[in-house]
Each structure stands twice: as C-alpha cells, then as structure tokens.
Chains A and B, each alone.
Chain A
Amino acid sequence: MWLLSGGAAVTGHGQLGAPRSRRLQPERSAPGSRIPIMVLKVFFPSCCCSADSGLLIGRWIPEQNSAVILAVVHFPFIPFQVKQYLSEVQKVSQVEIVVLGTWCNNKQEKEESLGKFLDDLGTIFSHEPWLQLSKEKGSKFWTCHTLSRQAGTPQEDQIILIYYDQRKAMLSQLHPPEMSLDNQPGVIPAPDASKLAAVFDTVARSEVLFLTDRYDDGPLKLSHWQSEGVEASIIVELAKQASVPVCMLLTLLLSLVSGLCRSRIFKFWPLSFIWSKLSTCEQVGYRLEHLKFVFSNQKAENQNQLMRKANIFVSLLLDVALGIMLLSWLYRKNRIGQLADALIPVADHVAQELQDLLQWLMGVPAGLKMNRALDQVLGRFFLYHIHLWISYIHLLSPFIEMILWYVGLSACLGLTVVLSILSDIIALLTFHIYCFYVYGARLYCLKIYGLSSLWRLFRGKKWNVLRQRVDSCSYDLDQLRLLVVIVQGLIHFLVDLIDSLPLYSIGLRLCRSYRLAAGVKFRVLEQEAGRPLRLLMQINPLSYGSVVQTYRLPTYSCYPKDSWGSLCKKLFFGELIYPWKQKGDKQD
C-alpha cells in the first residue's frame, strides 16, 4: 500500500488535504455491559483441569495483575510443611512461588464441609488477592472468585481464565530472545519487556518443582505436567552417559591432527602459498574447527550455543552421509577409470580449439587490420604456453587414474570436500586460460586508462574509433573465463549452502514446532454469560525464513554474495578476478 498521510487523520467526508486529527466519539455503551475496573488474569495449566481439590501454587505478578499457576497441592498436607517446601523451592529456582488460592473439583455432589474448609485455608496462607476456583461435575464452566482481605467483601473483579499447555511452555523458547543475554536468575526484567515472556520465563525456571511426581514419597502430593511420571528417554540418557568419554577421546585426536597441520613443515614459502590458495584446504580446516567446537568438553552455555552445536553436528552427519553415497556410486563399474580416460581427450580438445583461435587472430580476424608485429609476438607467446601445458598433461597421463582414485577416497570426509576438490581441479586444469586472461586483461586495462586520460582531448571533436588489437582477443577469452568463473561460483555456492544451512533448527521447526516460538496466539473457548472469559493460549511457531536467518552458520567465503553485476563490471574495466578466495581478504 502506498502511504500518503501518516498520523491520525480521520475525515468523515473523504477530503484530502491537511490532516485533521478529529477523534470520533466512542459509542455510549449500553447499560449493563459496563467494563469493571480491575482485570485479573489467571494462567491455568490445562493438565490440572481434572486434578483433585487442593491448593493452588504459583507466582503472582503484581505489575500485570496476573497469577501464573504452576501446580496443585492435594490433601492431606500440613500447612507448615507446605511453607517449608515452597521456601526451599524458592531458594533453588529464584522464582517467588507462593500459595495463590484454592481449587475445588466437585466430582461427587456438592460438599459443604469442603467448601468451608477451603475458606478457612485462606486465613492460614495469606495472599492478596486470594483466588477461589471451583468446577462442577459435568460442567465446562468454572466459578471464580477473588477475596481481598483489605476490602473485606469479594470484589467485582473481572477474571480472564487462560489455559496454557505447561509442557510446551516449558520447552519452548521465545524469539527474539529478550532475556537471553542476562541469564542470571535474580535479574528483574525491564518494565516494558514482553509480559507474556514473563509467563514463559516463570514456567521454565520452576523446573525443580516438576521433578517430583505422584510416585515419589515426599511430604506433598503435587499435580503438574510431570505428575503422571517424569518423562525421559533411555536413548537420550545412554547417549549422555557415553558422550563424556567419547568427547574426550575425539578432542585428543583432533588436537593431534591440528597440531600436525600446524607443524613447521608446512610453513615454508611455496607450500604455505599453495595451501592458502586451495579451497580444499580451507574447507577441511573449516570442518576441523567445527568438529573441535562440537566435541569440546564444555557444555553449551545458552540456548544459542546449543542450537549452533546441534546444527553443526547434523550438518556434518549429512555431509558425510552424502559423501559416502557418492563414494559408493563412484567406485562401482570402474567409473574412475572412465573419468580418467575422458579427461585427457577433453584437455587436448580445449588446447586444439585455443590454438585454432590464436591462428585466426594472428591472421586477419573478421576482416580487421591489425598490428602485425604485436600480433605475432603475443600469438607465439600464447602458443608456446599451450604447447607447454599440453606436454605436462601428457606427462601426467599414466598417473591420472591413480591420483583420481586416491583423491576420490577423500569423499568420506564429506560432500563439501569433494566439491572443493572438484573446484580446485577445474582451476588447475584451466590455469593456462587464466594466464592468458591475466596478460590480456592487464594490457587492456592499461589501454583503457590511457584512453580515459585522453578522452578529454577528444570531447567535442569528431569521434575517432580507436581499435586495439588485444581487445578482440580478450573478449573471446573473457567468455571462456566467464564460463569457468560461473562454474566455480556454482560449486562454491553449493558448498556454502551445505555449510551454512541450519538443518537441526529446520528439523526442529518441522517436528517439534513449539520449541521455536515467535509468539503466542489466543483462542476464545465457549462462553457463558456471567462466567469469566475463557481463553486458550497456544504457541505461535517461528516461520521457516526467520529460523534460517536466526540460526545460519557463518561461512568463510563470500563469493556467491558478490553480485554478478559487479563481476561483469570488473570484466569490462579489466580489473582482475581472483578465482581463489582467502580468509579475510578483501577483493581488489
């Protein structure tokens, strides 16, 4: 939509012009539907809806006038023990859990004595305001009262009853994480922080309250989401036990390997230059860093680090799985031999094409008159290059199959490693094209600078078309170079995609969507006049785009992010395009 006027401009007659902020008068509400002064919000866990009568315990948030109920304490209990237990829980979890009121579930006929007993409890556990929730047999609608000691009589508070799923609220994480930076339990959140985040925070921090279930022999009998039996999985427990020695062993191995890599042998000049230029070494180094991060002995400090570890682990697993699949396909039916046999003729063919092109240019290309001397010099120079290159390829030809066989074995390290090796092989095989491109581009660049400095002299006069010899040569080479650059760019893009996609987060969003929450949504349940408003609070999951954006893993190369436009611009102005990206290098 195209916005013309901002601000509160309401014109009853559809006139444009200077916005007039005339407010419409609100309707006089009908008598009888007067909105009461105080609104009390009660967050009730849906797992406790069928619990027996007892006391309600939870947290009271006075700024928002809301009560978050965490559990129900059943009869019989001793009030002193209840207070003791609550103070212990408060010390451990740093959440102010108190007795908020009473819950009465009349499964049989209405019991008068129970009602009076519950009323008396209000005097033992003093809390302002004192909640009284009760449910009749066979009825969906509850009766809610609040008692305020100061006023003495029950007030006309409007109560909103919001049901929430305790398990999902406990395991979910709100995005954007407002309280993730200060994980200290005693920190009071900022007054304008999200109010619903406070509810989630309360449930998440009261984990210690949910550790006892009804099969434990404790002083109190509680009802909450774990009261049917604490949820756990044998596989997860076994994995946790096994992970400590496995992590230690792997950390040792990885430190050995990285120590070897950093040894003095590789520091000498020719070797270090080559290692830094090959993308394979970078990719392997990157994966090594990842492995060290995942198998380190430290536990993840916060949610972000945990997700990052999980994402890297799943990404590594997928990488290795794809690599092994490729390996099994490649080593069947002598495909390596076929590949090696096909490589030499292709190189020969490309060399022959280049020689033909150069012969054509040295003659009279497209009827243009050229500088004979320069033509011959450059042409012979390039022909000699090609001759050298072909000789080297022919020298290597008996060993190519063996080299390919051993290089193919590296696929068990991962698909990304194979792709990087492929990209490096392409770069090495087309090295001669790169050399020609460099010579041609440098000469062309010089000519362009010369021209541009002379441009001012030619302005206003008759435009003289100056043709350069190296011009046409470098245009054709540019096409070849562009093709190579495009292929390499695609390979790097694929590698980056596999590297940076947060697979674990996407899987979590697919299977357990309540874990990653963008917010909440409310559904209004059946209402009855005179009863409190009943709402169901559900978790609104994060969209896939936000998941990818939040949990993207950082990659080392920014090659695909360079727009193709800037690439073409570089080609036109003769600036060099480097095929190898170094970590932290800025483009020329």
Chain B
Amino acid sequence: MEERRSISDIYGGRLALQRRSYSPSCREFCLGCPRLSLRSLTAATCAVWLVAYGLFALCQNSMVLSTAIFITLLGLLGYLHFVKIDQETLLIIGSLGIQMTSSYASGKESTTFIEMGKVKDVVINEAIYMQKVIYYLCILLKDPVEPQRVSQVVPVFQSAKPRLDCLIEVYRSCQEILAHQAVTSTSP
C-alpha cells in the first residue's frame, strides 16, 4: 500500500512524503528533500571564478585559474557526496528494529539500524533552532545498565526537517507498532 503527498518543511520548502505499508507490522516513510538548485550552483561558481580572475589580474600566473577549476570541481563533488542529502527514509519493522537511511546526491547511502530491544520510545521534542522553535521526531534508546534511564537521543529526518503534521503521522504509526511489540514481548 503506497501513498504520496506533498508537505512542507520548517522553512516553507516543498518535501515529498511517500508512505508505504508492507505489512501490518512493517512501515516505511520516505522524505524527498528539494534538489540542488541551478541558481545557487551558478552563484557559487561565479563567485569562485571572480576571485580567481581577480587574483590572476594581480599576479599574472595561470596556475591560479587551474587551481580555481580544481577547487570548483572538487568542492562540487565533495558537496554532492558528503553534504547534500537527497532522501531520508525511516523503516520500522515490528520485532526487528528501526532503520534510518540517508541517500546522498552522489548515490551514497548511509544506514543506521537500531534493534527493537534498544528502543525505549519514539517521541516528538521541541527545540530552539537558530531563531525558531521547531518540532523534531527522535528515538530514545535504553541504557544497558539501567533500563529506566535514557542513554541516547537519536533524531530522525535531520536534514529534511518536516513540520508537525508529517511528524504526527509518523509518530502515530511508530507508536502503533511499538505498542503491539510491547504486548507480544510480554505475552508468553
């Protein structure tokens, strides 16, 4: 069962939310971030090249221009491979765990899997971020030594930063699966 919607993030930009339900205990939420805009790319390249031409006019050394080309290329590749996130996915499988995947613009995927035994709860928190107060969804992990304490807080959808309506939907699904998980683990 698949569902696609358009929602907004905290800055007002458009995000694409894709929600899939593979089985009653396995759900996936996919958030697509806005792509790299041509305008910002052109602006950055122009800035670097203006500086390069200025330096070239000063010192008349063509190495400056070659270095500018290298810097632009390497900078763009580095940005696409390490910084620009294309899509963020949250996959929750009851009785196995929660998996978060970030896909970068260059195709690289970085995955984190948290086993269900380590998950204490999934909550929505408020935070002060620059000049705003925003909501974010996070996973609370159990402390192995003391089960009542929270050892770590893992935020979800860190670069997409969706608004509260999307977060409430994800929160409700997660709580449903976690509640059934708690029931099955305590029953004989």
**A residues in contact (CB < 8 Å) with B:** 1-11, 14, 16, 24, 26-27, 29, 33-35, 37-39, 41, 65, 158, 160, 162, 192, 194-196, 519-522, 524, 527, 533, 535, 540
- List, in ascending order, chain B residues with CB within 8 A of A8's CB: 121, 123, 125
Q: What's the least CB distance linking B36 to chain A, in Å? A: 23
Give the total of B residues in contact with A, Cβ under 8 Å.
45
A-B residue pairs in contact (CB < 8 Å), sample of 28 = A1-B127, A1-B136, A1-B155, A2-B127, A2-B128, A3-B127, A4-B128, A5-B126, A8-B125, A10-B123, A14-B133, A16-B126, A26-B172, A27-B172, A35-B24, A35-B180, A37-B184, A160-B93, A192-B117, A192-B144, A522-B96, A522-B99, A524-B26, A527-B23, A533-B26, A535-B93, A540-B112, A540-B113
Query: What are the interface flags for B76-117 relative to A under an 8 Å C-beta threshold, 1 for contact and 0 otherwise?
Result: 000000000000000101111001010000000001110101
For the complex, is B153 an interface residue (Cβ under 8 Å from A)? yes
Q: Is the interface of A mostly helix, strand, loop or mixed?
A: loop
Contact in complex: B95, A524 (CB < 8 Å): no
Inter-chain contact total with CB atoms closer than 8 Å: 107
Contact in complex: A4, B126 (CB < 8 Å): yes
Contact in complex: A524, B22 (CB < 8 Å): yes
Chain A residue with minimal CB distance to B26? A533
Q: What's the least CB distance linking B69 to chain A, in Å? A: 28
New A-B contacts (17) at CB < 8 Å, excluding given A1-B136, A4-B126, A16-B133: A4-B128, A9-B126, A10-B123, A24-B171, A35-B94, A37-B184, A39-B95, A41-B96, A158-B23, A158-B24, A160-B95, A194-B115, A194-B117, A522-B91, A524-B28, A533-B26, A535-B96
Contact in complex: A24, B128 (CB < 8 Å): no
- List, in ascending order, chain A residues with CB within 8 A of B180's CB: 35
Interface centre among A1, A4, A37 (most CB of B within 10 A): A1
Which one of A27, A39, A520 contacts B184 once the chains associate, using CB atoms below 8 Å?
A39
- List, in ascending order, chain A residues with CB within 8 A of B57's CB: none
Which one of A41, A158, A519 contacts B113 once the chains associate, using CB atoms below 8 Å?
A519
- List, in ascending order, chain B residues with CB within 8 A of A29's CB: 24, 176
CA distance A16 to B128 in the complex (A): 10
- List, in ascending order, chain A residues with CB within 8 A of B23's CB: 158, 527, 533
Q: What's the least CB distance linking B121 to chain A, in Å? A: 7
CA distance A11 to B135 in the complex (A): 10
In B150-167, the 8 Å CB interface with A consists of 153, 155, 158, 164
Chain B residue with minimal CB distance to A533? B23
For the complex, is B48 an interface residue (Cβ under 8 Å from A)? no
Known A-B contacts A4-B127, A6-B153, A524-B28; A37 and B176 likewise in contact (beta carbons under 8 Å): no
CA distance A65 to B96 in the complex (A): 11
6 residue pairs, one from A and one from B, having the closest CB atoms = A521-B111, A8-B123, A39-B95, A35-B24, A35-B180, A33-B24
CA distance A9 to B123 in the complex (A): 8
Chain B residue with minimal CB distance to A162? B96
Q: What's the least CB distance linking B79 to chain A, in Å? A: 19
